[in-house]
Chain A
Amino acid sequence: MLYQDTVESEVLVHRPWFVASIFGVVFAICLMFNLVGTTFGELMRPVIGDPLQSGVYGRFAIAFVIGVTFCLNIVLIGFAPLKAQIGIVWIELLTLFLAFFKAFNLSLPFIWENLPYLITQGVVTTIYVSAVSLVCASVIAIIAAIAKLSSNGFAYAIASFYTSFFRGLPLLIQIYLIYLGLPQLGIVINAVPSGILALSLCVGAYMTEIFRAGIQSIDRGQWEASRSIGFGFGLTMRRIILPQALPVIIPPMGNTFISMLKDSSLVSVLGVWELTFLARTIGQPTFHHMEMLITAAMIYWIMSACLEVAQSRLERHYARSKAR
């Protein structure tokens, strides 16, 4: 929550000038596009007659009705309590998106037919690759972050070279380099392990910086208090510093994990049968591209949403000691 002013001001969506200007904007945008040929035109048939014959009058009427509906909507939502407002706006946006996808005339039977396979093979592989990379990346990140904060020249040099290199290269090239480059050294690894390796190294490099910032954000006094009791470096790090750094680390870490979940689709270039790969290969021969892509998109979204929920749970868990 932002800092809340103690002086209550009138709700923004109930101010006449705001509602008027919103109406103006929506009205102008709707006038710009000729909507008489769309579903809106059909809905307005009782008023404007045959939409295609209505001309400027029909265009004007449609824009006016949309503008009024929109403004009425936001004014009414303005009366609801906070939680209801959030829920209503979410549902409305979701409905709009579904209506948008419906306009594609997707073949639902095709989706239902392929969905089970998409989940049992694609989703499972994606989750497997992401989860293993997540654990590996966290371990790499903690070690590299401590190395970057240490006064040991070798540790610092190796860690900073690592972060610079793996943050500086596109993930796609890293994946190719590991899959095609390591065999040159005589190390042949399969597609899935090399995908996991590439993801872990890349995400680990980003998370190194997150961990470093988190550890540095802890007051020096905590180190001093801990060391003065007699705790060693490891104990201080594990029991005193990291638990306090976690609340700072979690939001950016959630970010990184969500983007990694989606970056795992790049592993498809190695022929790993994960979600994006399957969506493309199933859609291509039957020209049902859109069906599969949208289904995959929805599945990615649901998985990201799960990570978001996990993140907010964790944040709430660590907010305990901050409550007054």
Chain B
Amino acid sequence: MTAGLKSHLKGLDSGDSSQAIGNVLRESLSSQESFSQKHGSMSADIIIEATNVSKWYGTFRALTDVNLTVRKGERIVICGPSGSGKSTLIRCFNRLEAHQKGEITVNGIRLHNKMRNVTEVRKNVGMVFQHFNLFPHMTVLMNCMAGPMWIKGVPEAQAKKTALKFLERVRIPEQANKYPVQLSGGQQQRVAIARSLCMEPAVMLFDEPTSALDPEMVSEVLDTMTSLASDGMTMVCVTHEMGFARAVADRVIFMDWGQIVEEGNPNDFFTNPQHERTKLFLSQILRH
């Protein structure tokens, strides 16, 4: 993160409204571009690399030869009709699901059936779920502190500091001592984001983070994700929020029948889709 970005963020925290977000967004986008131009060819920048990934549930083929590379700082949006394998794909990235064919490498570690260091992978991959999945028997603060304390052995005081920092980052520090059921859906999802951030992951996976929310809560979660993106966080989002995709994504991927049908930058994707299936999907989803 550049110094300029930091000062902008400070402005953001002290309540300097939407203009700041816009500035940060633009600035970080441009710095991102120059960054990837400089280092784009280096393999060290690749955080997730999936080659020819296939997966079956019994006889049903959920993924068919999927190829995807996620570089550092990239923001990728995956969309597609339900049952198209979007969620399955990103759940393969932290080994919540096992793939049967092809290779997935995350942070330089190859994922396979007999791996012993799956924790090493998961430590570096944050995951946000559709139904939040906060731990209901712990306070919001403890939800955020648990990971660093129990996995990384961070002392309690420091874990608390980190947790409060990220709760502030998602703008709900005042809820720290409440239990998850006492919060609204949008707040819970922001806590879930903070919980993942506390592990300081290299990449964040979002599995339809706004699908279970009331319409008016969608924007608060999307705002959080947008500002996360402007910090340069590497993100892979499965979402139907096309506005978010257009504003934030570096690349939009359209999946159907377990395959990547189309892939491109958001501008081309939305204004000039190539495949019939993509056109149909977009016309369905953008009609309203």
Residues of chain A whose beta carbon lies under 8 Å from any beta carbon of chain B? 219, 221-222, 224-232, 235, 239-240, 243-244, 318, 320-324
In B131-166, the 8 Å CB interface with A consists of 131, 133-138, 146-147, 150-151
A226, B138: Cα distance in complex, Å? 13
**Are A244 and B122 within 8 A (Cβ)?**
no
Measured between beta carbons, the chain B residues less than 8 angstroms from A244 are: 135-137
Contact A239 B150 (CB under 8 A): yes
The A interface is mostly helix, strand or loop, or mixed, namely helix
- Listed from nearest, the 4 A-B pairs whose CB atoms lie closest are A225-B133, A230-B122, A221-B133, A228-B127
In the complex the two chains form, is B122's CB within 8 Å of A229's CB? yes
Are A228 and B96 neighbours in the complex by a CB distance under 8 Å? Answer: yes
What's the least CB distance linking A77 to chain B, in Å? 37
**Given A221-B131, A320-B179, CB of A228 within 8 Å of CB of B136:** no
- A227 with B181: in contact, given A221-B129, A232-B119, A239-B146 (CB under 8 Å)? no
B122/A225 in contact, CB under 8 A? no
User: Once bound together, how far apart are the Cα atoms of A232 and B95, in whole Å?
Assistant: 13
Q: How far is the CA of A229 from the CA of B122 in the complex (A)?
A: 6
A321-B140 Cα distance, complex, nearest whole Å: 11
Contacting pair A229 B133 (CB below 8 A):
no
Contact present for A324 and B151 (CB under 8 Å): no
**CB contact between A324 and one of B94, B133, B182, B199 (< 8 Å): that residue:** B182
Tell which of A227, A230, A318 touches B199, judged by Cβ atoms closer than 8 Å. Answer: A230
Chosen A-B contacts, 30 in total, with CB atoms closer than 8 Å, are: A221-B129, A221-B131, A221-B133, A222-B133, A224-B96, A224-B133, A225-B129, A225-B134, A225-B135, A227-B96, A227-B122, A228-B94, A228-B122, A228-B127, A229-B122, A229-B146, A229-B147, A230-B122, A230-B147, A231-B151, A232-B119, A240-B135, A244-B135, A244-B136, A318-B137, A321-B181, A323-B179, A323-B181, A323-B182, A324-B182
Chain B residues in 8 Å Cβ range of A222: 133, 135
Contact B137 A243 (CB under 8 A): yes
> Is there an interface contact between A229 and B181, defined as CB atoms closer than 8 Å?
no
Instruction: With both chains docked as a complex, state the minimum distance between the C-beta of B176 and any C-beta of chain A, in angstroms.
Output: 15
Contact status B146-A324, CB under 8 Å? no
**A321 in contact with B122 (CB, 8 Å):** no
Sample of 6 more A-B contacts, CB < 8 Å, known A225-B129, A321-B137: A221-B133, A239-B150, A243-B137, A321-B138, A321-B180, A323-B182
Contacts of A240 in B (CB 8 A): 135
**Interface flags, B104-142, vs A, CB<8A=1, else 0:** 000000000000000100110101010101111110000
Residues from chain B with Cβ under 8 Å of A318 in the complex = 137
- Tell me the minimal C-beta distance from B91 to chain A in angstroms: 8
Q: Contacts of A221 on B, CB cut-off 8 Å?
A: 129, 131, 133
Residues in B with CB closer than 8 Å to A228 are: 94, 96, 122, 125, 127
Proximity string of chain B (44-73) to chain A, C-beta cutoff 8 Å, 1 when within and 0 when not = 000000000000000000000000000000
> Which one, B127, B131, B150, B179, contacts A321 given CB within 8 A?
B179
Distance from B217 Cβ to chain A, minimum over Cβ atoms (Å): 17
B75 at the interface (CB under 8 A from A): no
Which B-chain residue is minimally distant from A220 (CB atoms)? Answer: B133
